[in-house]
Amino acid sequence: MSDLTALRTIQSRAPLAHPRIAVVLGSGWGDLTDHIQDAVCVPYSELKGFPKATVAGHTGMLWLGQIGANQVAVMSGRKHGYETGAIDGMKTPLRLLKRLGCAVLVQTNAAGSLRPDMPALSLMVLSDHINVPQRSPLVGEGGAERFVSMVDAYDPALRAQASHIALQRGITLHQGVYAWAFGPQFETPAEIRMFRLLGADAVGMSTVPETILARHAGMRVLALSLITNMGAGLSGEQLSHAHTLSQAQSGSGVACGLLADIIRQIELPPQDPTP
């Protein structure tokens, strides 16, 4: 099994690693790795079942170490559905991190805003999501566990803690609903109007499949968006991936500093001694 092969590789490269928090870094969030102490890096290319990094801004590295007192496994890059058409590309990595002991998944992404009060460089904690394509990475799974409840998919206690830490730092952290669009093309103005009518506050091309996988695995989820642009038709800016990366880099320092503080203060129950 690919996850067992990858597990042995990690254990040989980082025998003292016992991560409790998994983190997936999206565009603009890569500088979180500057906050990792005693870091050990393993390229995805050495981990069977991990995705090949094909998107600019996603380096394809697994970082193992500590942020504060919490041991972390930080994935610098994810697999997007639009890369191959399959949406289960993060199944092996997330199940492996759960097996290693991760009880919490912290997700990050770059997103477009659907709200005039949430301009570029704003930060948003996800309160819920809309699975616009209505696709699931659990297709083909057996057993009753595949019928996962998505109520409070984004853990209310973790969201409240993130908001409290942002308030202490004097950072505005919006709460909102994230619409997952499949991509890779950007949305049309008509689609943006539809998403707003559905109740979405931001739109992006990731995060939702990983949240479904994490909830299926029994992990608590926290997710943060770095707003890089207004949705199509809501401003005069020309949307492109280069523009997204440029804006994400501009907001990276504040975003990653807040994220590091949040991770430091996540309280975890004692680890289950069973593997």
Q: Which residues are CB-neighbours of 261 under 8 A, at least 6 positions away?
A: 165, 169
* pLDDT score, position 248: 77
Regarding the domain with residue range 2-265, which homologous superfamily does it belong to in the CATH classification?
Answer: Nucleoside phosphorylase domain (3.40.50.1580)
Amino acid identity of residue 79, one-letter, is K
pLDDT given at position 196: 98
pLDDT at 269 (0 to 100):
81
Q: Kind and range of the H or E element at 8?
A: helix 2-13
Whether 215 shows a pLDDT value over 50: the answer reads yes
Tens digit of each residue's pLDDT (9 = 90 or more) over 79-91: 999 999 999 999 9
**Mean pLDDT of all residues in 218-233:** 96
* Per-residue model confidence as pLDDT tens digits over 253-263: 999 999 999 99
Could you give the C-alpha distances from 33 to 13, 65, 76, 110, 206, in angstroms and in order?
18, 10, 8, 17, 20
pLDDT (average), residues 217-229: 97
- Residue 5 clears pLDDT 70, i.e. is over it: yes
Q: Read off the pLDDT of residues 134-170 as tens digits, 9 standing for 90 and up.
A: 999 999 999 999 999 999 999 999 999 999 999 999 9
38 Cβ neighbours under 8 A, 6+ residues apart: 65, 66
Identify the pLDDT of residue 197: 98
CA 12 to chain centre: 26
pLDDT at position 243 over 70: yes
Which phi-psi region, left, alpha or beta, contains residue 166 (left: φ > 0; alpha: ψ -120 to 50)? alpha
> Strands (DSSP E) along the chain, which ranges?
21-25, 37-43, 61-67, 70-76, 104-113, 123-131, 173-180, 202-204, 220-230
What integer pLDDT is reported at residue 70 of this predicted model?
Answer: 97
Return the percentage of the chain with pLDDT > 70, whole number.
96
Per-residue pLDDT tens for 27-72?
899 999 999 999 999 999 999 999 987 765 557 999 999 999 999 9
Domain boundaries, the chain: 2-265
For residue 250, pLDDT over 90 is answered with: no
Q: What is this structure's pTM?
A: 0.94
DSSP labels for 157-226? HHHHHHHHHHHHTT--EEEEEEEE---SSPPPHHHHHHHHHHT-SEEESSSHHHHHHHHHTT-EEEEEEE
Average pLDDT value for residue range 198-227: 98
Decide: 200 and 177 in contact? Cβ < 8 Å. yes
Supply the pLDDT for residue 275.
Answer: 44
Q: 248 versus 115: which is more confidently predicted?
A: 115
Q: b vs e for 218-229, b when ≥16 Cβ sit within 10 Å of the residue's Cβ?
A: ebbbbbbbbbbb
At residue 271, the pLDDT reads 72
pLDDT at 42: 95
Q: Which amino acid is at 113?
A: S
14: amino acid identity, one letter: A
* 119, two tokens: 């301009």
- Mean of pLDDT values over 198-219: 98
Total residues belonging to the chain: 275
Q: If you average pLDDT over every residue of the chain, what do you get?
A: 93
